[in-house]
């Protein structure tokens, strides 16, 4: 039966990958509408022929990998279950019936190492692609260092979460999902609070903006927006990427506005001020807090669905999946498979909300700095630096884009420019 399941899963995955390959590489979707050709939103206007070719090629590969990797992870979880590998990891646990956190740490270490090795070829290929197309500037040793740091940070968080989770399942097989969610609220807020000062500095160096003249202008814009901040932070990303970015992170006293040094070196002052105004829009409209609330709501629904699906699957297919009972740690790959699937299918909804917030932040930036030319040139520069698609296919937009497409963003700010010119005396 397990062999039959494995073969069926591989066939379904192969068919799915073939369909996605045809859709992404041969559907012809994502072209620029005829009415926008020759405008500032048309990549043929602001990108070279070489950049256009690389952007199209690189975007298709990345999109295909995105749609294939997540289902591939589900296959790996299924393989771990039906081969009994999860039970093997559990049998290797030392100190039986003592110190559950130590037992869970050993199990999760073995599981994480297996997943790291299984997915490493794909991770390396993505790194290679980014280097090949000139996006990444990171040397292999630095890339591996980030991977190792990420491995241990994720493992530490997961050990704590899984230990509490299975303790709750042992205490209440019916209501564990609600208790887990209630504990997730303070844990999520705590992680958001320490992220800028504890976790992020493990990967990069952060320091106050060195260009004090520019910082003064940014702080003046922040004061205009009634944002209480004393510093804008700069992060050294040039040694890792050619892409451009800026973001708001953290909550409370640890909230930060962060600029990549690549953004500082390659954009004009007016373009940087527009980006800062955009990030301030997120702060003013409290998108971080709405994001936390949305995350907690989706987590509640996800945990409830998982609590309903896991017992049913174990009752019906537990023998094939080599799962003896719900509260055993060897059932964790099934938990991860279900939650990964739920996250994937719900991503169009979460991305839609995110795109709405980004549109609001763009509109706020336009009102704050009133510089549509800088807005258009900023979006064009972001597109070129990241070799991004201006108008991706519909499924790609739904599942991958937490920001509006560059076509939408440039068209919107260009429309604002026309409105401002018409309103001018």
Q: Does residue 151 register a pLDDT over 90?
A: yes
Report which of residues 136 and 102 the model is more confident about. 136
Active site residue 416: no
Known binder of ligand: residue 26? no
Active-site annotation holder among 90, 200, 261, 279: 279
Tell me what percent of the residues of the chain surpass a pLDDT of 90.
Answer: 47
Question: Does residue 69 register a pLDDT over 60?
Answer: yes
Residue 358 labelled as part of a binding site: yes
Describe the crossing of helices 372-386 and 332-369 by its angle, rounded to 10 degrees. Answer: 150
Q: Which helix (H) or strand (E) holds 378?
A: helix 372-386
pLDDT tier for residue 39 given thresholds of 50, 70 and 90: confident
Query: Using a CB cutoff of 8 Å and minimum separation of 24, what contacts does 187-193 make?
Result: 187/161, 188/292, 188/295, 188/296, 189/251, 189/292, 191/157, 192/250, 192/251, 192/288, 192/292, 193/250, 193/251, 193/252, 193/254
Confidence of residue 140 (pLDDT cuts 50, 70, 90): very high
- pLDDT at position 178: 94
Sequence ranges of the domains in the chain: 2-204+286-423
Stated as kind and residue range, the H or E segment containing 175 is none
278 in a labelled binding site: yes
Q: Which of the residues 90, 234, 261, 362 is marked catalytic?
A: 362
pLDDT at position 28: 67
- pLDDT of 180 over the 70 cut: yes
* Predicted local confidence at residue 60, as pLDDT: 92
Q: Output DSSP code: residue 418.
A: H
Least confident stretch, 164-178, 245-259, 290-304, 346-360: 245-259
| Count of C-beta atoms within a 10 Å radius of residue 225 | 18
On the question of pLDDT at 254 being above 80, the answer is no
- Each residue of 368-414: pLDDT tens digit? 888 888 899 999 999 998 888 888 999 999 999 999 999 899 888 87
Cα 278 to Cα 283: distance, rounded to the nearest angstrom = 9
Mean pLDDT (whole number) for 202-216: 87
Sheet strands (E) in 192-284: 206-208, 233-235, 246-249, 256-260
Residue 236 has pLDDT above 70, yes or no: yes
What is the rounded CA–CA span in Å between residue 396 and residue 425?
43
The pLDDT value recorded for residue 415 is 66
Cβ proximity of 24 and 63 under 8 Å: yes
Contact in structure between 151 and 112 (CB atoms under 8 Å): yes
Q: Mean pLDDT score of the chain, rounded to an integer?
A: 88
pTM of the model: 0.89
Q: How far apart are CA 256 and CA 232, in angstroms?
A: 7
Report how far residue 295's alpha carbon sits from residue 181's, in angstroms, rounded to the nearest whole number: 11
Task: Report phi then psi at 233, rounded to 5.
Answer: -100, 145
Region 209-234: what's the mean pLDDT?
80
Q: What distance in Å separates the CA atoms of residue 267 and residue 168, rounded to the nearest whole number?
A: 51
Q: How far is CA 172 from CA 57, 94, 169, in A?
A: 51, 26, 5
Beta bridge partners of 248: 257
Count of C-beta atoms within a 10 Å radius of residue 49: 8
Q: Is 73 a catalytic residue?
A: no
Grade residue 155 by pLDDT with cuts at 50, 70 and 90: very high
């Amino acid at each position: 039966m397990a062999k039959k399941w494995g073969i069926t899963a591989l066939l379904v995955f192969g068919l799915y990958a073939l369909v996605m390959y045809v859709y992404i590489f041969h559907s012809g979707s994502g072209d620029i509408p005829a009415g926008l050709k020759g405008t500032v939103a048309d990549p043929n206007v602001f990108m070279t022929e070489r950049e256009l070719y690389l952007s199209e090629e690189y975007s298709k590969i990345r999109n295909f990998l995105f749609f294939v990797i997540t289902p591939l992870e589900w296959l790996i979880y299924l393989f771990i279950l039906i081969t009994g590998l999860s039970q093997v990891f559990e049998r290797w646990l030392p100190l039986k019936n003592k110190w559950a956190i130590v037992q869970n740490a050993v199990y999760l270490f073995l599981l994480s190492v297996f997943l790291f090795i299984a997915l490493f070829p794909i991770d390396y290929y993505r790194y290679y692609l980014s280097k090949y197309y000139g996006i990444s500037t990171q040397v292999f040793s630095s890339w591996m260092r980030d991977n190792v740091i990420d491995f241990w940070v994720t493992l530490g968080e997961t050990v704590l979460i899984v230990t509490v989770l299975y303790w709750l399942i042992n205490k209440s097989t019916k209501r564990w999902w609600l208790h887990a969610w209630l504990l997730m609220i303070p844990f999520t807020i705590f992680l958001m609070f320490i992220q800028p000062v504890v976790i992020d500095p493990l990967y990069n160096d952060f320091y106050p903006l060195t260009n004090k003249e520019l910082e003064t202008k940014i702080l003046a814009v922040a004061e205009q927006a009634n944002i209480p901040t004393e510093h804008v932070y700069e992060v050294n990303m040039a040694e890792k990427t050619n892409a451009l970015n800026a973001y708001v992170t953290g909550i409370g006293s640890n909230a930060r506005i962060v600029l990549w040094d690549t953004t500082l070196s390659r954009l004009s002052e007016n373009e940087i001020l527009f980006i800062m105004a955009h990030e301030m829009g997120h702060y003013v409209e409290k998108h971080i807090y709405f994001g936390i609330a949305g995350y907690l709501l989706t987590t509640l629904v996800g945990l409830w669905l998982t609590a309903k699906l896991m017992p049913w699957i174990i009752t019906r297919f537990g023998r094939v999946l080599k799962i003896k009972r719900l509260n055993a740690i060897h059932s964790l790959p099934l938990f991860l498979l279900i939650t990964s699937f739920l996250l994937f299918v719900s991503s169009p909804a979460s991305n839609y909300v995110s795109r709405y917030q980004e549109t609001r932040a763009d509109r706020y930036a336009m009102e704050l700095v009133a510089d549509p030319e800088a807005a258009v040139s900023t979006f064009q520069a972001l597109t070129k630096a990241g070799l991004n698609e201006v108008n991706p296919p519909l499924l790609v937009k739904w599942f991958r884009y937490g920001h509006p497409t560059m076509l939408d963003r440039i068209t919107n700010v260009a429309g604002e420019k026309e409105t401002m010119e018409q309103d001018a005396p």
